[in-house]
Amino acid sequence: GIQVEQSPPDLILQEGANSTLRCNFSDSVNNLQWFHQNPWGQLINLFYIPSGTKQNGRLSATTVATERYSLLYISSSQTTDSGVYFCAVASGTYKYIFGTGTRLKVLA
Amino acid sequence: DTGVSQNPRHKITKRGQNVTFRCDPISEHNRLYWYRQTLGQGPEFLTYFQNEAQLEKSRLLSDRFSAERPKGSFSTLEIQRTEQGDSAMYLCASSLEGGAQGTGSGNTIYFGEGSWLTVV
């Protein structure tokens, strides 16, 4: 099956800093989502982005499907950005496979 | 649209007891998924329904686990004879086949808040 690797595994930032999170996947996919899991466990949708670039406020994401990676950019980080960021991919129409996540802590 | 709803949110049970979790998907969504997440790991796929049909079950889903989705609406996940290794968060998600029309959202899946199970 598809392997999903995320880097870095852990990241500590000062408030206001920028960061880039990476997701590599081992096979072609036609669905890709980024999620933020908050400290209460809720998985919050950030982007549905099987290809191309999207932006939503301080967050943006780029997927280069032909090279099998996706990037999540966080600018001007805030303490509320803390949590775990997951990339999930699906090569078929429904079965998403998750990476192990990037644990982000933003310090005030 | 109230989102995906799961209950109970927390369950503590003794080893050997049966537990059941319920998931109410987003109302128009025809696809429903169950995932399991343990501490420090990403969610792992358990099973998938399209309408009322269970189309895939992971090898993680032993014979003690059963999931149903009668009438293609809510779903239940039952764990019989619980073991300590079953302790995890059980996540339900739903999606609309093809995505919301005109949004380019594809098969975006939406998760509920999860049901935490602790087996003592």
Mean pLDDT of chain B: 91
Whether the pLDDT of residue A6 is over 70: the answer is yes
Task: Find the CB nearest A94 among B31, B89, B114.
Answer: B31
Task: Find the CB nearest B42 among A30, A93, A100.
Answer: A100
A103 closest CA partner among A24, A29, A19, A47: A19
Segment A43-67 mean pLDDT? 96
CA distances, B88 to each of A14, B37, B43, B85, B116 (Å):
32, 6, 10, 8, 6
Whether the pLDDT of residue B101 is over 60: the answer is no
Chain B residues within 8 Å of chain A (Cβ atoms): 31, 33, 37, 41-45, 48, 50, 56, 89, 91, 95, 97, 105-111, 113-114, 116
Whether the pLDDT of residue A33 is over 60: the answer is yes
Amino acid (1-letter code) at residue B119? V
How far is residue A43's CA from residue B3's CA, in Å, rounded to a whole number? 12
pLDDT band at A93 (very low <50, low <70, confident <90, very high): low
Mean pLDDT of chain A: 95
pLDDT band at A76 (very low <50, low <70, confident <90, very high): very high
pLDDT digits (tens, 9 = 90+) for B39-78: 989 999 999 999 999 998 998 888 999 999 998 899 999 9
pLDDT digits (tens, 9 = 90+) for B9-37: 999 999 999 999 999 999 989 999 999 99
Task: Find the CB nearest A94 among B107, B114, B116.
Answer: B107
Phi, psi of B28 (to 5 degrees): -90, 0
Test B43 with A86 for CB contact under 8 angstroms: yes
CB contacts < 8 A (A, B): 54
At B106 the pLDDT is: 66
Q: Are B60 and B46 in contact (CB under 8 A)?
A: yes
* B116 contact residues in A (CB cutoff 8 A): 41
Test A43 with B116 for CB contact under 8 angstroms: no
How far is residue B78's CA from residue B64's CA, in Å, rounded to a whole number? 8
Test A42 with B116 for CB contact under 8 angstroms: no
How far is residue A6's CA from residue A98's CA, in Å, rounded to a whole number? 9
CA distance A104 to chain B (A): 13
Residue with tokens 């090898």: B59
